[in-house]
Structure 1
Amino acid sequence: MVERSVYRHSDNSEALDNIIIDPFARQQNRENENIELNDPGSQTGELPTLPLNLKDWLHNSEYQILKQALAQARFNQRKAASLLGLTYHQLRGILKKHQILAGEQ
């Protein structure tokens, strides 16, 4: 780890004042900044009452969000993937899982 910090510090004439112990900490902080937390009052859908079948509920919720993203992106899958924070190939896999075919859209 020290070697990585020395390598990143390009000026050999100055003392190394910052040793990065966790090289992924900066990336995690940026990711955490990008996540917006919704307050419970701003949610459009309500949480279901318990008991429930979690797998079915998650499957149906994911399906509805996919349909909404596709409609908002005018069925452009690359734009829909971007809206959902997914890659194009990740979106295609989820569409296949939900059997949402191009002809159905």
Structure 2
Amino acid sequence: MDESFSPTIFLYGMALVLAVGKAFTLTIWRTLPKPRLGLRQEMLQAWKNRRLQKQAATNAGQSPRKEPTAEDSSRSAEGAEREPHVTMPAPIDRRLISEPP
């Protein structure tokens, strides 16, 4: 065998080539757009979201409702000022509602 060939240098060179190749591959894979979920997972997620929305709607519909009084509405308005995420419905002006003849 020729004295100019060194197995150690060859192994280090191959390790360097593999490391650089892997670094480029990982960089390329990281920059590629993420694939969408499969159709099965998409349908399962949509079904789960729909069930949760229906549950929330039925739970909100089952809560007992009472006619608000003037005292309750002022208390609710104060609570809405403290909690900005709570929305209050606009008061109904009874004069604008036309009565049947």
TM-score surpassing 0.5? Answer: no
Q: Into which bin does the TM-score normalised by the smaller protein fall?
A: under 0.3
Larger relative contact order (CA 8 Å, sep ≥ 6): 1
More helix by share: 2
